[in-house]
Structure 1
Amino acid sequence: MDKFKEFLISFKKIIPDIGLLLVGAFAHLLFILFSPIFHIIGQLKLKQFPEPKTIIITGASSGIGRELALLYAAKGKFLALTGRNQERLNEVAKQCRAKGATVETTTIGVTNRSELEQWIDMIDKKSNVDVVIANAAVSEPSAPNDLSYEEKVRYLTDTNVYGVLNTILPLLQRFRDRHHGQIVVVGSLSTYVTHIFPAYVGSKSWCHGWTNTLRQELAPYGIGVTYIAPGMVDTHMSDVLGDMKKPMMKSPRDSAIIFKDAISENAPWVTDNTPTHYLVYLLNTVPLRLKDGYQVLTNYGYPDGNKMQDPYYFGQSNIQQSIKGLQALHQRWQALLDTNTFKNEEFRWSQNELKRILNDVEADINDLMDSILVVEKFPDRFNIDMMEIEKRKRFIRESRAAVDDVKRDMSSQQVTAKIERDKQNELLNTERRQNMQRESKYSGINRAYEEDTNEFLRENMQIQQEYFNNQDQELEELAQGVAIIGEMGHAMKNEAEIQGNILDRLGDRAAKSQGALGGVMRRLDKLMEATSSKVQWLMIGILAAIFVILVVISLTILKKK
């Protein structure tokens, strides 16, 4: 009885929530009455911007960012695009340039504050930025699978919150100084859905609140701010949801057209899916105190939401998408197998791409199986029964079977023989064509042309023969000259021998003269000892004169020889 009484008393707690709903209903009626006045005032105060020339778009390699870039691309436009996938980003840039736009691209991540700021500064110096669109974002399912829960929360916050700030803040003061510029933040209708993906919803709720407040703050500076709230759009972010329900899905192209029109109108807020907006807005009016009961009923009506919180389903979704793409490419590969596989470039590309996808899918399957084995050891900790574990193992077996079917077909003897046969046939055909070309090289030449050619060859040969004859004559003359030089060398050798003999005889005479001079000097010494000093000096003079005469005579003889 006491418990029943307490239960009845607990209803008092929801009285404020009921009052909140009543106030909300009254406020909505009041705003309906005043909405025409609000609209007129807003239109009178609304600043209209000219067609932008320079636009920065982050996350432009796919999805909404890609389509916005293609819509803005035109002659005279300068697009600055960022994206993580270089190959896809290059393809987008190529298509934009084909429309006449000037394009700058970079793969700098929005979480890299310093490098992104430098790149934005470089773009703004080249051409004043008119519109910056912060589009890059990730969600829990699209985040790397190897991250823990805590790491995913930080990863999403860095990208979806700080990535937006890193994109916009470098331009904020420039826009203020120029009293011109538009800021666009791509958010989500998930702001109103507090059911799944808390990190993603929380980050987009921050973007929603910051953008709407920033619009009021920057309006006096002539700066426009627009918040974009897409519903379900057919992009990679929705692909990873797998089989989860995706109500009222739109194509990126259709959504981008709506968003571009809203940006040109300087709209404060825009969505591409009005019915979904009505639904989530209605559900968001549930007071927080009643949220728990409402959430229980929501889980029954929309169980996919809770299911996607399990990391297993992230991996399952990726594998399902990969196998789907693998099977589609395999069918195309089978059709190309009937062509000449050696010459067909598409076949070779398909073959290599199939091998790459097979390796990636097998790695993903092995990783998912490892996680299942961990859960199987501790089922109570993960609140999963054995029936669910067996169901997951069955998915692994089916996925491996699908992969094995493709591998078996690609490595079958028939396929291997066909590819090798096409290769050999093409090599043989190439050799035949080369032989035929050699055999028929002159078959179509006119006979007169052949005669002219032969005459030309004969004249050429005659000229060459005359040249060779002249060379022979010159060589003979050269040989004669060499012979003459040889004879001269021999004569010079003989002359050198004669001169050597003469020098030898002169040397003998000089030696004899030197001996005679020595005898004279010895006699002079004896004579000097026997005479007085005056006589000695007289004798020295006489002997010196004799010595000079002898030297003169010797030199005279040498000159005559």
Structure 2
Amino acid sequence: MPSAQDPFYVVKAEIQDSIDKLQSTFHQWERTSDAVERGHLTKEVLAGCESIEWQVDELDKAISVASRDPSWYGIDEVELESRRRWTSSARTQVGSMKKTVEARASATSHASVNGMRQELMRLPNSSQIEKSNQYAAQDNDDFIHSESDRQMLLIKKQDEELDELSESVRRIGGVGLTIHDELTAQEKIMDDLGAEMDSTTNRLDFVQKKVAMVIKKASVKGQIMMILGLLVLFIFLFILVFFT
């Protein structure tokens, strides 16, 4: 079972946190009836969807690399399938929110165009224009002041969220570099181990050939004498170790 320090789970936690924040913004977008605020939230949700989709794509690429040799990364096919299901679920959640916001934005745009056409078809007389200008003049100052305050708050909030997004991207980039360094180090270790195994194999072959040559050259009598000599040496060492 992969540990919680597995780079996949670190990145997964970052993406899940971004999805949770995006869902909160999406619910706020659904509840608001203010046109200006809805426009700001629409841009925010779409930008968040694009960012998360990019992060999920990068995570999918890492899973594809690991699937080429799962045992190298200490995982199995069951774990790989679990990771694929999570990225697919995350992409589905983000895609659903993105489609909903885009559809509403498109409908609003068409409605706005139709409204402008209807307004252009109307021919207001001079008295109506004069009354409208009078009402506009009375409320103009209050509206400008209120709208200015609203825009400043929205801009400040957007700056804070962009800072959080930038920090999240930097952390994911750092995790990616860590994964790359770890893979490079493991590849070097495997290369060194392979070289050591080749060297040991060559030495073992050399020793086996030498032993075979010695046995082949020795006569039957010589082999018996060698065995007896080794037996005497063993008995001597046994007595030396256990009786002295």
TM-score of the aligned structures, taking structure 1 as reference length: 0.21
Q: Give the structure with the higher percent strand.
A: 1
**Pair member with larger Rg:** 1
TM-score of the aligned structures, taking structure 2 as reference length: 0.47
Q: Which protein, 1 or 2, shows the higher relative CO under an 8 Å CA cutoff with sep ≥ 6?
A: 2
